Amino acid sequence: MSDVVTVEEAADGVALIVMADRAHKNTFTDDLVSGLGDAFRQVGSDERFRAAVLTGYGSYFCSGGTREALLDIQAGRATFVRDEGRPNVFALPLDCPVPVVSAMQGHAIGGGLAMGLFADFVILARESVYTANFMKYGFTPGFGSTLVFPAKLGPALGHELLLTARTFRGAELAARGVPFPVHPRGDVLPTALELARGLAEKPRRSLVTLKDRLVLGLRERLPRAIEEELAMHEITFHQPEVRELLMSRYGE
């Protein structure tokens, strides 16, 4: 496995995927993306696993795109979509055949929050920061965010996060009625593992079959959403103001 992503069997039938790229605060570096791809392939192909928990380290869940990658997109050298034949990291929880629990014990930013929301279950931390910060830098959202934020958070809150790029603590989202459990940070992973252990009591074939049905709509709509996001990026991402904002505001 990768040095920054590990997989272990945390309980009978439960895979625990841990992102711990401490040097880069779990941004989507090549190492993290490659490690996540390997981890989800392992979970998907290993018949022992009937559920998975995805988590980060310390106060970080996933911080989204690196500044270098975003500058490459701004300059027209890349897009947020992976090369053909390589999985899009943000959709790995959605594509995983078994149910995935996002234990977002730490901050989840931009594409990192989108990836967490693509899981089947989401658990947030009261102290942590959650933001769709794309518009903070002047470009429209990517990583499937325009689909998954309204789908999982509801249109009102989902649109507010996307349009305003506001930063919310988990406690604020709980007060806004977010439809996910929100716990103190130290309770997030234990709660997720307890949920996953309950899932893993069921037969894998039954879990896979039911998940396929429950996420069918999201899986079918995601390619169109990505196309529309890429089209918006052609309009918004290449503005000179975007480069200036990425250089001055990234990491604040």
The set of catalytic residues is 233
Contact yes or no for 246/70 (Cβ under 8 A): yes
Q: Measure Cα distances from 232 to 146, 225, 237 in Å.
A: 11, 11, 8
Beta strands in 105-218 (DSSP E): 107-109, 121-125, 129-131, 167-169, 182-183
From 188, 183, 179, select the one nearest 171 (Cα to Cα). 183
* Strands 121-125 and 51-55, bridge-based pairing: unpaired
